[in-house]
Every structure is written in C-alpha cells, then in structure tokens.
C-alpha cells in the first residue's frame, strides 16, 4: 500500500521559491567583482533566476545540458544556479585554480554548451577558448559598463543578456532524480572525475546541512560562505541559506584576511565556513591589527584537518565556536561535523580541544563504517585505523561516464580513500589519506597528527609531514615547515616542542624550512608534489645510496 501524501518532487527551484515567498526581503550582499558592495534579496534573486532560465531556453539550452560557471561567490552566480537548474540544465562549477590544461580537459569531458564567467577569468579563457569547441557562447557576469573587449565566442554581458527576458516564465517540471549540478574532484592522481548531483540529493543535503548538529542554520543567521561555490557546492550553503531564509554575504574574489574581516564586521556575520588556509590568513591579520570578532558565533572548518592551535585561538581569543567538519565532493559534500553530544558535555579545556580535533559524527543521511583491507569492520575504540566508507542519498554512486568505478563497492559503500578511527560514541577522526599515511616498520604514522602538533608551535605558520624513504624502516617522517613572517626557529626548537607529545617512533627524523608549501586547487597540501620535491632527501644518519 502506498502512502497518501502529495507528490512533491524535491526540485531546487522550490528552495528559491520558498526563500522568495517567505523570506523575500532577506538580503544577499556581495562584494562585487567590479568593486562596490551590491545588495540583492531573495525575491530579486528569484526574479532574475527566472530570467536566466528563460534566456537559456531561448538560447536552445535544454534538460540535461551542461552550463559551466567559472566564477566566485556572488549574487549573480547564485541566480545562475537557480536559473540553470530551473529548466533541468546542469550547473557545472569549474575551479579556476586548476591549471589551464585541467580546465580544458574538464570542460571538454563535461561537453559544456555555455560558459558563465567572471571578469577575473576572461583573459584566462581567451587563451584557451580555441580548445573548448563545445562552448557555444560566453556570458560574462557583469554589466555593459564593465564589459571588456573580448575575443570570446558570442560573448555577452550577463545584465544585457537577462534584460532580453521579461521573467514571465514557469520553472520546468521533471523527475527529482534529474541531474542538477556537476563538480569534478581535483584528483591528485589520474584525470579529474565528475560528480553529478541530483535535485533530490542537493535538496536532502541542504536539509541535512541546516540541522542543529550540522551547521545549525536559521533565518536569524548572517552567513558568509567563504568556501567557493566551485569547491563542492560551497558546502551546500548557496542552497541551505535560502532554504532557511538566512542573510547571505558573498565575498566575491577577495579572500584575504583584511577583506574577510571587513565583511564579518560590517555585516555582523554570525556564521562562516572555509578551509584552514583562509582562516590562517584571517587570524594572522587579526593578530596584527588587534581587531576582535564580536558578532561571529561559529565557524565551520574543513576541507583539510583543522589544526588544534586554530581551534584554540578562535575559541579562547575570539569567543568563536569551531565546528570541525569533514566531507568530500562525492558527498555533496558534508560527511561529519564535530558538535558536542551529551556524552562529552562535561569536557572543557584541553579535553574539549582533543575532541574537536576529531572530524565528528555524521548527520542523518550519512552512514559510515571503517574497515580493514579485507573489508572487515574495525573496532570503534578511537585507536584502530581503517578505511573510511560511506553511503547515503547525497553520496555519489558512480562518477560521470563510469570512471573510477573501483571506489564504488558492490555492497553500496563508497570507499573515501581516507583512513580513520571511530570512537565508542561514533566520533570519526581522519588520520590520513590512504596514500599519504607514513608507513614505518609496518606501522602507520598519521601525518595529520604530526602537522597539527607542529602548527601548535607559536612560530610555525604551516606544516606538512611526508614519508621519506628509509633503508631500514621503509619510510620515516620528514616535517616541512613554513614559519610565520619575520620569525626564525631551528630544527631542534621544533623537535624539542614536539618531544613527549607523540609516540617516540612517530617523531620526525628531520625538519626542513621552506618559504611556501604547495596547495591544490581546493586548498589542500599537495603531498604528492612535496614527496617529489623531497624524493632524494637524505635523512640524518642514513648513508648515501650507492
Ligand atoms: P574535496 O572533495 O576536495 O573536498 O576533498 C575531500 C578530501 O579532503 C577528503 O577525502 C579528505 O581527505 C580531505 N578532508 C576534508 N575535510 C577534512 C578534514 N576536516 N580533515 C582532514 N581531511 C579532510
């Protein structure tokens, strides 16, 4: 017997309809690419998204077509998402931080028909446009006054383009499992792989993200999504915020500490989210200026492990709660968040910080397990490591065109490629990417633990631990350090600081100081590049190879 409830497919345009109808006046504030702050609201965003939909249809874009966006977080980018998905086309966020060759590969693989592009990236696209044969038209996300002279095919200023529509348009109807969005993982090996979100998965993910033990979003929040829309859907915030009727502040292309601080302060932002490198810049800036964060209540930090020192500074110095989160492009992306359950309600000080080093527990809609190489469950004792596997309605079941099939197991679990522990209360902690973990004498050393510890040294800005070949132990840890500006420290200072805080055999064999650590397009440390750079590094006490 079927239930007798209404058939109400979970389509993304329902989110912006809801926001416009019940929170229509709520603002969406952007630091525009052209410079000035621009204020819009959900009613206007919906009105203009309808014009985007209408114009795309006039241009012959149909259900299932891919429309690429190479753009920062702005109100126009948000309108574009709703307009594109409102006719059943697919927004394909392209990460501009990728190498031009990767962008070419991705756009061709997705066979995007239209490219919406911010002013910032017009020169980049002009250089590679002849290698993007599937793109029929470029829409520059600006107005006529700022439209550059460009060689891009059929280029038009977004404002001129939507001005040709009257907005008298009805969203299209289709199945909720229709593809809505696309994002390629910046795989460190092999070609990038396409993840294809559906209307249903994005809607369910947004509902899950808003819950109190996840991001706890409400109409009373002022949300600054620093994490870009091209990095795993800006962790769902461009959908979750309108769903909740929250005010949104979009940072545009300025992500430096001073610019972010200005937005946090001026617009009394209550909640923000980004990768640790962004917060590193903000905290360094605050340390210099002595400014405080009186309005900010919580910050979600994920994408790579949040160092303990960062959590401590946010909480103790600025009174901002840190929510450590883990996820993946393949998971839409939220997988777990570290909020405090009653089991740990009594923790404070260092014990609470220990808990917050964990990536947390999954919200409803994410199932998790850890397994050994034979696929057997590993005990949830907070110590034993296993491969982290997940499943759920917003977890990919395949990559676009069936590539990378080995990660999707026959029993429905997706192997994340991360190695993790689970504690008895269901808190997950990532110890490493499976391919980054240091294998020393048959045992594993967590690079994340070493990095977190090293970053706790007051003079250290950033740290990366990598395995370097060792004749006896197979691999031993080498610590690569970037010092804070103007600071100096020696190998022994760093090792002395770490001494006694990790098992003796986990201690790095050596420390090197560099000016910069390479990062991926999504702000993660590029371990592969570092391993290559230090491939022939000779650790102390190791004889030169013949
Ligand atoms: P992406 O798809 O670019 O978001 O990358 C996902 C990967 O980032 C995960 O599989 C993890 O290896 C890593 N990651 C994300 N969040 C965290 C975190 N809080 N701590 C450690 N690693 C993380």
237-244 helix and 13-22 helix, angle to the nearest 10 degrees: 40
The residue annotated as part of the active site, out of 79, 176, 330, 475, is: 330
Residue closest to 429 by CA, chosen among 412, 414, 448, 416? 448
Residue 324 CA to ligand 1 centre (angstroms): 11
Q: What is the C-alpha separation between 234 and 67, in angstroms, rounded? A: 18
**Contact by Cβ (8 Å): 173, 378:** no
Residue 525 CA to ligand 1 centre (angstroms): 11
Residue 398 CA to ligand 1 centre (angstroms): 19
Residue 388 CA to ligand 1 centre (angstroms): 12
Residue 433 CA to ligand 1 centre (angstroms): 8
Q: What is the C-alpha separation between 141 and 516, in angstroms, rounded? A: 33
β-sheet bridge partners, residue 388? 370
Q: What is the C-alpha separation between 441 and 474, in angstroms, rounded? A: 6
Q: Please identify, by atom number, the ligand 1 atom nearest to the C-alpha of residue 331.
A: 2
Residue closest to 427 by CA, chosen among 364, 355, 378? 355
Helix (H) or strand (E) holding 19: helix 13-22
For this structure, is 444 an active site residue? yes
Which of 233, 308, 360, 430 has most ligand 1 atoms within 8 Å of CB, for mutation? 430
CA distances from 355 to 428, 503, 523 (A): 10, 19, 24
**194: its two tokens:** 């396409």
Residue 545 CA to ligand 1 centre (angstroms): 36
Alpha helices in 215-275 (DSSP H): 237-244, 257-266
Residue 522 CA to ligand 1 centre (angstroms): 10
Q: What is the C-alpha separation between 509 and 474, in angstroms, rounded? A: 13
Alpha helices in 245-363 (DSSP H): 257-266, 276-289, 308-312, 318, 349-356
For this structure, is 439 an active site residue? yes
Q: What is the C-alpha separation between 194 and 109, in angstroms, rounded? A: 9
**Contact by Cβ (8 Å): 433, 418:** yes
Question: Taking CB atoms and a 6 Å cutoff, what residues make up the pocket around ligand 1?
Answer: 185-186, 232, 302-305, 324-329, 333, 359, 416-418, 430, 433, 522
Q: Please identify, by atom number, the ligand 1 atom nearest to the C-alpha of residue 522.
A: 3
Q: Please identify, by atom number, the ligand 1 atom nearest to the C-alpha of residue 520.
A: 3
**Minimal-distance CA residue to ligand 1 atom 4:** 328
The residue annotated as part of the active site, out of 69, 185, 272, 421, is: 185
Residue 189 CB coordination number (10 Å): 6
Which of 94, 182, 275, 302 has most ligand 1 atoms within 8 Å of CB, for mutation? 302
Which of 418, 429, 465 has most ligand 1 atoms within 8 Å of CB, for mutation? 418
pLDDT of residue 434: 84
Residue 482 CB coordination number (10 Å): 17
Per the listing, tokens 């907005």 go with 167
**Contact by Cβ (8 Å): 113, 134:** yes
Rg over alpha carbons for the chain, rounded to the nearest Å, is 24
- SS3 label, residue 233: helix
The residue annotated as part of the active site, out of 313, 403, 444, 484, is: 444
CA distances from 442 to 196, 431, 543 (A): 38, 16, 21
Which of 97, 193, 303 has most ligand 1 atoms within 8 Å of CB, for mutation? 303
- SS3 label, residue 32: coil
Q: What is the C-alpha separation between 194 and 107, in angstroms, rounded? A: 11
Tens digits of residue pLDDT in 17-75: 999 999 999 999 999 999 999 999 999 999 999 999 999 999 999 999 999 999 999 99
The residue annotated as part of the active site, out of 288, 383, 435, 439, is: 439
> What structural domains does the chain harbor?
7-26+36-200 (3.40.50.12780), 436-545 (3.30.300.30)
- Is the four-CA dihedral 197, 121, 284, 298 of positive or negative sign? negative
Q: What is the pLDDT along the chain (546 residues), one digit of tens a residue?
A: 999 999 999 999 999 999 999 999 999 999 999 999 999 999 999 999 999 999 999 999 999 999 999 999 999 999 999 999 999 999 999 999 888 999 999 999 999 999 999 999 999 999 999 999 999 999 999 999 999 999 999 999 999 999 999 999 999 999 999 999 999 997 656 789 999 999 999 999 999 999 999 999 999 999 999 999 999 999 999 999 999 999 999 999 999 999 999 999 999 999 999 999 899 999 999 999 999 999 999 999 999 899 999 999 999 999 999 999 999 999 999 999 999 999 999 999 999 999 999 999 999 999 999 999 899 999 999 999 899 999 999 999 999 999 889 899 989 999 999 999 999 999 999 998 888 989 888 788 999 989 999 999 999 999 999 999 998 888 999 999 999 989 999 999 999 999 999 889 999 999 999 999 999 888 889 998 999 999 989 999 887 654
Burial of 64 (0-12, 13-18, 19+ CB in 10 A): exposed
**Model-level pTM greater than 0.85?**
yes
**Contact by Cβ (8 Å): 119, 148:** yes
**Minimal-distance CA residue to ligand 1 atom 17:** 304
Strand order in the sheet with 386-391: 367-371, 386-391, 414-422, 428-433
Residue 428 CA to ligand 1 centre (angstroms): 13
Alpha helices in 483-543 (DSSP H): 491-498, 527-533
- Total H helices, total E strands in the chain: 16, 24
Q: What is the C-alpha separation between 233 and 116, in angstroms, rounded? A: 16
Phi and psi at residue 318, to the nearest 5°: -115, -5
Cα-based torsion angle of the residue sequence 492, 495, 496, 501 in order, rounded to the nearest 10 degrees: 180
Task: For the chain, give the percent of residues with pLDDT over 90.
Answer: 88
């Amino acid at each position: 017997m079927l239930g007798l409830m209404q058939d109400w497919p979970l389509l993304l345009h329902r989110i912006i309809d809801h926001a416009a109808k019940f929170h229509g006046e709520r603002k969406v504030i952007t630091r525009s690419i052209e410079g000035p702050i621009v204020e819009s609201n959900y009613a206007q965003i919906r009105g203009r998204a309808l014009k985007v939909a209408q114009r795309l249809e006039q241009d012959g874009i149909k259900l299932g077509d891919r429309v690429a966006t190479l753009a920062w977080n702005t109100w126009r980018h948000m309108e574009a998402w709703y307009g594109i998905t409102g006719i059943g086309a697919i927004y394909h966020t392209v990460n501009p931080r990728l190498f031009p060759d990767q962008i070419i590969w991705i756009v061709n693989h997705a066979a995007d028909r239209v490219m919406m592009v911010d002013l910032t990236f017009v020169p980049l696209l002009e250089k590679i446009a002849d290698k993007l044969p599937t793109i029929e038209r470029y829409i520059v996300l600006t107005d006529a006054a700022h439209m550059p002279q460009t060689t891009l095919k059929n280029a038009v200023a977004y404002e001129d383009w939507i001005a040709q529509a009257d907005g008298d348009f009805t969203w299209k109807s289709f199945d909720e499992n229709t593809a809505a969005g696309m994002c390629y993982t910046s795989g460190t090996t092999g070609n990038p792989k396409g993840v294809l979100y559906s209307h249903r998965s994005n809607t369910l993910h947004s509902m899950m993200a808003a819950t109190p033990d996840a991001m706890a979003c409400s109409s009373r929040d002022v949300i600054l999504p620093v994490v870009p829309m091209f990095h795993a859907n800006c962790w769902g915030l461009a959908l979750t915020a309108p769903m909740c009727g929250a005010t949104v502040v979009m940072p545009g292309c300025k992500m430096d500490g001073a610019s972010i601080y200005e937005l946090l302060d001026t617009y009394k932002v209550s909640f923000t989210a980004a990768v640790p490198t962004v917060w590193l810049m903000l905290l360094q800036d605050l340390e210099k200026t002595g400014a405080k964060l009186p309005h900010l209540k919580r910050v979600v930090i994920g994408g790579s492990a949040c160092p303990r020192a960062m959590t401590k500074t946010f909480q103790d110095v600025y009174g901002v709660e840190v929510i450590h989160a883990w996820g993946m492009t393949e998971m839409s992306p939220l997988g777990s968040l570290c909020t405090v359950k009653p089991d740990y309600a009594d923790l404070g000080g260092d014990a609470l910080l220990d808990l917050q080093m964990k990536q947390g527990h999954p919200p409803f809609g994410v199932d998790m397990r850890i397994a050994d190489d034979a696929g057997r469950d590993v005990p949830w004792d907070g110590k034993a490591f296993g491969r982290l596997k997940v499943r759920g309605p917003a977890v990919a079941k395949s990559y676009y065109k069936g590539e990378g099939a080995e990660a999707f197991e026959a029993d429905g679990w997706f192997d994340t490629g991360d190695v993790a522990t689970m504690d008895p209360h269901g808190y997950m902690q990532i110890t490493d990417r499976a391919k980054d973990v240091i294998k020393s004498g048959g045992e594993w050393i967590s690079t994340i633990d070493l990095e977190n510890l090293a970053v706790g040294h007051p003079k250290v800005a950033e740290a990366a631990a990598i395995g370097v070949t060792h004749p006896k132990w197979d691999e031993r840890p080498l610590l690569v350090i970037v010092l804070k500006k103007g600071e100096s420290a020696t190998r022994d200072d760093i090792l002395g600081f770490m001494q006694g805080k990790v098992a003796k055999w986990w201690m790095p064999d050596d420390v090197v100081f560099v000016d910069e650590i390479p990062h991926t397009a999504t702000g993660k440390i590029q371990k592969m590049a570092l391993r290559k750079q230090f491939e022939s590094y000779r650790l102390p006490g190791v004889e030169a190879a013949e």
